[in-house]
Amino acid sequence: MTLYFNPASPFSRKVLILLHETGQTGRVHLKPVNVTPVNPNPEVCHDNPSGKIPALVLADDNVIHDSRVILDYLDHQHVGNPLIPREGPSRWRRLTLASLADAILDAAVLIRYETFLRPEEKQWNDWLENQSEKIARSLSYFETEAVTELSARFDIASISLASGLGYLDFRQPDLGWRSTYPRLASWYYEISQRPSMLETQTPV
């Protein structure tokens, strides 16, 4: 299999973490690409019309894309305990927490695009504030309602949030989220020592 990815992408990092956690790194060839909304990659777009990464080319040349789809596929390709619960209330709860973490990723990436790709005189401050508020609301929920659940096991929800917090450190280092969300900060410090997290750190 071949994974089109970018080391700076938090969505790509989710996939890389799962590959490490499930012992599948040797099964996937990593192909780094640089794509933005204004700079699509023709090779990626050939079988993935959205042009988004990550995208996974399977052994039969079929392509699956969107990190959530790729994670679900890869979680069915190993013999260990699943990182996405297969059924019952725990499945929907962990997927919902993962979705909320993805909302943090989405907002943070949109902030990056608005501030990096758009000329300063054309940046939309209300848009930026709304994305920042979305991040704050989500982090507050994890801090008060879900950090104990996250500590119980490292799975799809934990992977997604860890990737989000790492991306905030990378792209918004002045946010200082640790002082506002100390329980999350403590949780993130602990899971940051996992080999899968250390091996997939975003390059500075």
For the chain, domain boundaries: 2-75, 88-199
- Which pLDDT tens digit goes with each residue over 20-56? 999 999 999 999 998 877 788 888 888 888 888 999 9
- Which pLDDT tens digit goes with each residue over 153-203? 999 999 999 999 999 999 999 999 999 999 999 999 999 999 999 999 987
1-31 CB burial, b ≥16 within 10 A, e <16: bebbbbeebbbbbbbbbbbbbbebeeebeee
- Which pLDDT tens digit goes with each residue over 75-126? 999 999 999 999 999 999 999 999 999 999 999 999 998 888 788 888 888 9
**What does R_g of the chain's alpha carbons equal in angstroms?**
17
* Domain 88-199, classified CATH 1.10.287.990, yes or no: no
Residues 6+ apart with CB under 8 A from 161: 97, 98, 101, 104, 142, 150
**Domain 2-75, second-level architecture:** 3-Layer(aba) Sandwich (3.40)
Mean pLDDT for the chain overall = 94
Q: What is the pLDDT of residue 111?
A: 93
- Report the predicted TM-score, pTM, of the whole model to 2 decimal places: 0.94
